[in-house]
Structure 1
C-alpha cells in the first residue's frame, strides 16, 4: 500500500543526498519522451512535450512529494532538480524546427578541430564550395516554382512530415505522465494550388517509407490534368521518410503507370542534386485521410499506452471514448 515516506532526518548526509537525488531521477524518468525525426541518426537526444519546462516539471514533483506526505521543508529545491535534469539527462522540450545539413555540421567541426592553418584553409574552401552549391540549388528551386506558375505542364511540390501530434491534448497533471496517441501529417505542398496533405494516426499506419509512398501515390492519383508532363518533388533528407528504396520504387511506379508523366533521364544523364532544406510554410486547406492498408486497425506501440489512454478518458468528451476503447495494442 502507498504510504508517506520517511523524511530521512537523522540519516548520514551522503545517504540523504543520494536518496533525494534518486527521487528526482525517478520523477524525471516518468515523463514520456519522443524522438525528433530530424537528425535522428546523429544524436540520442530525446524530447518532452512542448507544454513542459523545468519549472512545470518541478511543480509536478512538489505535488507528488506533498501527496506522499512530505513537508515543504524536506522537498528538494528547484536548483537541484534543474541541475540533475541538465547534467544527467539528454532531454529537451522542443524538437528542432528545421533540418540540419550533415555536411555543414561536419565542416564546422573540422574547422574547430583544424590543427594548422593549411588544414583550416583546405576545409574552409570545401565548406564554401558546399555553400555555393546549396545556394545554386536554392536558385534552381526558385526557378522551378516560377516555371510552374507560367506553364501548365509542370507541377512542383514540397513534401515534409510535420512533427508528431499527440492526442488527447490535456493540461492536467496525470496527462503529463501518460503516453499519447500519435497522429501524423505528411504535407504535400503544391506551390501553385497551395493545398494537399495526408493525415492519419498510429492506429492506421506508421510513419516510414511505405506510408510516405502511399501518400505520394494518393496525391498523384488526384492529378487529373493530362497537361502535366513534368513533376518536380523537393524534400528534406530524412532517410526514413524520403531517402529510401520505397520512395524510389514509388517514383518508378508513377512513371510506369501515369502515361502523361515523362522522364528525360537516359544512360548518360546524371541525377541532379536537390535542396533538402525545408523552406516552405504550411498553408494547406485540404486534408486527405491515408487509405487504410489492412482491414484491421494497426496496433499502437504498447499496452501501457493503451492503459494510459483509457485512464485519460475521464477528461475526454464521451463521443470519443469508443474510438480510444477500440484501439489495438501489441
Structure 2
C-alpha cells in the first residue's frame, strides 16, 4: 500500500471515531437546556470553520531572500564594551522599528530591485527569528575604531592586502580591549577580597542628556539645555556615584573630571593603601 493510501485510511479511521452529531444535540438539549436551532448553529459554524480553515500563506524563496538581503544591507553598529556578554548582538538606530523598516524601507527596496514583496508578519518573523538585532541604545557606547573597521570592510573595492591589514589591526585592537577588561576583573577581585589594601574605581562619561526631553509641540524645535553625567563606580562594593551638571556650569574637560574625583573621595572616604583608577574613554573626558 502506498503512503497516500495509508494516510487516507488513518484519516477515515479518525473520522469514524468522532461522536455523532445527533448524540451531541441530545446531550446539549438535556444537560445545557439549549434550543435545537442554536445547537445546530454552533455545530455548523464549527464544521465550516474546520472545513475552510485558513492556511498560512507561503511566500516564494525569492521573496524571503529579498528580505534577508534588505536586512543585511541596513547599516548596523556593535557595542564595543558589551562584546564579551553578547558578541553577535548588533544595533539599529533607536528611531527605527520593525514596522517602520517594513513600511518605509523594505517596500522601497523591493520595488527598486524588482523583488516580490512579503507581508509585514512574514518580515517580522524573519527579522526576529533569524537575526540578533536590537533597536534600543546599548548600555555602553560604541567604539569608533570598531565602527571605522566595519565601514572599511564594507567597501567592496578595497584591495585584499589592505583588507587583510585592516583585519589584523582590528584583531589587535580587540585583544587590547579584552586584556583591559581582564585587568579590571582581576583588580575588582582583589578589591573585594582585600578592601583594606585595594580600592578600584571605574570612571565613565555618560551620554549627554537634553533638558527637557519633549517630542511634541514647538518645544521639540527649541534649543535644549544639555546635561552632563559622570559616573564613578566602586568595583569593590559594586556601588555607583553619579555627578550631574549642566553645560552652563562647566564642560567635559579634565577640570570637571578632577572635581568629580575629588568629590567622590570626600564622599566615599576609602581607607585602602592602593587606589586603582580605570577610565573607559580617556580622549572623551579630556585626560
* TM-score bucket of the superposed structures, by smaller chain: 0.3 to 0.5
TM-score by length of 1: 0.40
TM-score by length of 2: 0.45
Higher share of residues assigned helix: 2
Q: Which has the higher contact order (CA 8 A, sep 6+)?
A: 1
Q: Which has the larger radius of gyration?
A: 2
